[in-house]
Structure 1
Amino acid sequence: MLGVAVVKGPSMVPTYYDGDRLLVRYGARVRAGDVVLARDPRLPERILVKRAARRESGGWWLLADNTYAPGDSRQFGAVPDGLVIARVLLRLRKAKRN
């Protein structure tokens, strides 16, 4: 199933910026290097956009492309497979930037 996600915040800069619209495929197979949507393991109602860096015994190690942004596996560890919900296919529209 396809969907649209909107990036909030700076964690994926320089790949994606706040306000970018992304086409995603729910339930898609994930490989290392893919950008994914995942539920935050600390607050499952929050959806994160992160890069799937590698597989670990506990799930996926998800990282922000912006190494200065908090809120990735460096803080909460590997994310279980069931919380990784979609793979980003492409950016539909860049956010307007000043």
Structure 2
Amino acid sequence: MPECTSQDGLTRGEGRRAGDGRGGPLKRIGLAEVYNPSMRPTLRPGDQLVVVYGAAVRPGDIVVVRHPFQHDLLIVKRAVERRAGGWWVCGDNPLVQNDSREFGAVPDELVVARAWLRVRPPRGVQPSPVPLLRWVLSALRPLTGPLRPRPPLSPSGSPAGLSGLLSRRLRAR
């Protein structure tokens, strides 16, 4: 089975698409929470992700995808590359294999959103100015560049994906 590394040897992983985008850009933005260590050191359990529904995905992006075998389970992975069956996705933590090494490429229709920003919760931050300032400077980290164009619409005029099934706040592991 292929490893979750790119040609340059860096660990990669993640996916693509969802959301209807009608009603303005804020309808395309949501939150996801990380629950397991598969994306360490980039993401830790408890981190919040600001995600963009319907954003185009490129190799190296962090994405939220529906698990191919458990569609009610959302997982956070890194998009490695496009393959014939969809996106090859992997976690940044090589010790956790709940990714494409286990279930293969993820079809485009199972890619829910692309992560845009990581928000790390304040853990043990003292309520004084210096520790609060350190937390603020380290808590927010952009995960991608500027928003990319949305994927093309289906013949019915709506984006492909599972937009009607998604909640505004995702719980992803």
User: Match for residue 37 of structure 2?
Assistant: 10
- Give the one of 100, 115, 118 matched to 1:73: 100
Q: CA deviation at 1:93?
A: 2.7
Find the aligned partners of 1:53 and 1:65 in 2 and give their Cα distance: 11
User: Judging changes above 3 Å, is the alpha-carbon distance between structure 1 residues 12 and 70 closer, same or farther for their aligned structure 2 residues?
Assistant: same
1:12 partner letter: M
- Give the one of 72, 84, 95 matched to 1:45: 72
Q: What CA RMSD, in Å, does the superposition of the two structures yield over aligned residues?
A: 1.2
Q: Runs of 4 or more off by more than 2 Å in structure 1?
A: 92-97
Give the aligned length: 97
User: Match for residue 27 of structure 1?
Assistant: 54
TM-score by length of 1: 0.95
Q: Which has the higher strand share?
A: 1
Find the aligned partners of 2:45 and 2:94 in 1 and give their Cα distance: 16
Larger Rg: 2
Q: Is the CA contact 1:2–1:24 (under 8 Å) kept in the aligned structure 2?
A: yes
Q: Is 1:60 aligned with 2:87? A: yes
Q: Is the CA contact 1:20–1:95 (under 8 Å) kept in the aligned structure 2?
A: no
Gaps of 5+ in 1: none
Higher relative contact order (CA 8 A, sep 6+): 1
Q: CA deviation at 1:95?
A: 6.0
TM-score by length of 2: 0.54
Find the aligned partners of 1:52 and 1:84 in 2 and give their Cα distance: 10
Could you tell me the percent identity over the aligned residues? 51
Q: What SS does the corresponding residue of 1:45 show, helix, strand or coil?
A: coil
- Give the one of 36, 45, 53 matched to 2:63: 36
